[in-house]
Amino acid sequence: MVAGSLGCNVAAPIVDVPLPLRTEPILVARPQVGAVWRRTVLRAVTVPLVVLSPIVALAPTADHRFNIYWHGALFRDDPLRIVPDTVHSLPGYLKAGNFRPLGRMLEKLVDLAAYVLADVFGIPANVAFRLVEMVGAVLLSLAVLVLAESVLASGPVLRRPPSTVAALLPFAVGAGFVAAGRSSPVVLFGGLYFTSSALVFAVAAAVARKAPDRAVRRRWIVPLLLGGAALASFNEIAYFALPLATVAAAARGRYVLGVPWRRLAQGGSARLLALLWLGFLPVFVAVRVVIARDCAAGACYRGSDVHLSGAVAATLPERMAAWFPPLMWQSAVQGHHHWIAGVVLILALVVLAALAVHAVRDLPRLSPVDARGAASLAVTAAALLVLGAALGALNADVQQIVAAHRWGQGWRDTASTAPAGALLIAAAAHLMSPKRWLLTGLIGVLALGGTVSAAANKRFRDTVMNTPAARLDDRLAQAMADFDPTPAGQARRCELRDEFFAMFASTPFSLRRFDQAFDTAAEQRAGQRFCPTSATSARGRG
């Protein structure tokens, strides 16, 4: 009995003591990591929504006035029809100077999503279109975060807290969503270009995560070749994916993982990139040769044409800085004074300040970033910044924008340069091992920048909506949302059509597109033309 008692007294500490030591890190650390990640993702999702919310009811412009209804009605009941429809149109677009079959499919999907959203919830299509665009902006914000953590993490990304870079990124990226002119991706083709840019960051993140000592399995060879060809068939923004992935993989492998250059060149990420490039280059080179031949006479679409001249050298530096939010604010407000005011500013400030406090409180829990990791991230961001600026500098329209000293005006390159600039700011802040107070101050400054961007977007929307064309587009969207098939409704729609034809009488192309788009949508929705009593409408359909 005594021996048994002694045995119990001795064995109990041996059995009981180690258990808390082994289980405590698992029970406490894992929920903390998960909670920090959830808060980081929440900020990356919320900040773009706050900044872009002032333009949620912005009237559609340019091709959006027609494409939402045309593409939506065409593919509402047969979405798979998008593929043959796009393939059938390829020869015409190729002769016009661009080759974007997968990008055009995505564009039609964006329009279809807006059309269906408007149809299901009974809201105007322009509001639905902006909501879909905001989803693209959220995807882009998340993709930038994923790339940053993929480059910085030497091990599994989700098994450690996000880096202190992640505390800055949502605010830096969100501040760049500025409606800097009518050609800005925030205004024009935002869903397409934000999603395309998100694809670029996602591809770079996936390649950067490939361990140098892991081989590429044979079954992945064909999919990787096809993936490279798909990137060459997407659009100009997607062209950046492989150059960016190459820089990101090299920077992470050499400076974060410490792998020698020779071993890195023979490793898994290099082989992965080689297969993607082998799929990309044949398609890219063949298409550019065909386009250069067909566009030699200068008859191609200026928006995608390459214009080599002395203006490229002058345009490139400006486009490398055009993403900077204070420059874009001036383009958005168009010379208005006292625009930093109003309810939108106050609401944005309240929400973003709360998120900023959230981020500051998380700082002690986040993974630190050393100088080598920050340098790797800065090099990656700078590479994309140069690529995006080069795209803009090669375009004749952008060259004219810069020549007119309209610095900060948005173009499709802004969809890549703005998030790249945000990433560069966050990385540069970590090059000198910053103190917590410095990161806290920078979070505050970036959150304030997002607040001002929201106010600038509100000013831009007010300016646009004060124009007769925008007010008419808004009424057309409302007429389609509340489609009235009765004779009274037909009469009101015919009045809108007559007003449009009078306003755009000098642009026959817009008149044809009007009947094509609105008649197609009206027939899909109610089995009648937009204006059944119009003989002109009947000829437009024919």
The 3-state secondary structure of 116-162, one letter per residue: HHHHHHCCCHHHHHHHHHHHHHHHHHHHHHHHHHHHHCCCCHHHCCC
Mean pLDDT over 239-260 rounds to 94
What pLDDT, on a 0 to 100 scale, did the predictor assign at position 281?
A: 96
In this structure, are residues 267 and 317 in contact, taking their beta carbons and an 8 Å threshold? Answer: no
Q: Comparing 97-101, 120-124, 443-447, which segment has the lowest mean pLDDT?
A: 97-101
Is the pLDDT assigned to residue 19 strictly greater than 70? no
- Cα separation, 417 vs 180, in Å, equals 13
477: which residues sit within 8 A by CB, 6+ positions away?
Answer: 59, 60, 124, 125, 126, 127
Please count the CA atoms within 13 angstroms of the CA of 403 that sit on its side-chain side: 12
pLDDT tens for residues 72-82? 999 999 999 99
Positive or negative, the CA dihedral 294, 295, 301, 307 is positive
pLDDT tens for each residue of 50-61 = 999 999 989 888
Q: Tell whether the model's pLDDT for residue 182 goes beyond 80.
A: yes
> CB–CB of 102/233 below 8 Å?
yes
The answer to whether 56 touches 131, Cβ cutoff 8 Å, is yes
Q: What is the pLDDT of residue 303?
A: 67
pLDDT at 297: 67
Instruction: Determine contact, residues 159/33, Cβ cutoff 8 Å.
Output: yes
Mean pLDDT over residues 516-523, rounded?
92
Is the per-residue pLDDT at 406 higher than 70?
Answer: yes
- Count of alpha carbons within 13 angstroms of residue 70, beta-carbon side: 15
Q: Are 129 and 60 in contact (CB under 8 A)?
A: yes
Residue 490 is encoded by which pair of tokens? 């037909």
Q: E-assigned strands of 192-293?
A: none
User: Token pair 């204070």 is at which residue?
Assistant: 326
Q: Tell me, what's the pLDDT at 244?
A: 97
- Per-residue model confidence (pLDDT) at position 302: 67
Structure tokens at 439: 């990161």
Higher pLDDT, 215 or 304: 215
| pLDDT band per the 50, 70, 90 thresholds, residue 532 | confident
At residue 536, does pLDDT exceed 80? no
Mean pLDDT of 132-157: 95
| Mean pLDDT of the chain, nearest integer | 88
pLDDT at 407 (0 to 100): 84
Least trusted range by pLDDT, from 64-78, 396-410, 516-530: 396-410
- Rg of the chain over all Cα atoms, to the nearest angstrom: 27
DSSP 8-class letter at 299 = -
C-alpha span between 195 and 245 (Å, rounded): 17
Please list, in sequence order, all residues whose beta carbon lies within 8 angstroms of the beta carbon of residue 537, skipping any fewer than 6 positions away.
497, 515, 519, 529, 530, 531
Name the amino acid, one letter, at 168. L
Q: In sequence order, what DSSP letters do the residues of 485-540 get, joined into one string? A: -SHHHHHHHHHHHHHHHHHTTT-HHHHHHHHHHHHHHHHHHHSS-SSTT-HHHHHH
Are the C-beta atoms of 529 and 522 separated by less than 8 Å? yes
Q: How far apart are CA 56 and CA 272, in angstroms?
A: 41
Q: Residue 395: pLDDT above 90?
A: no
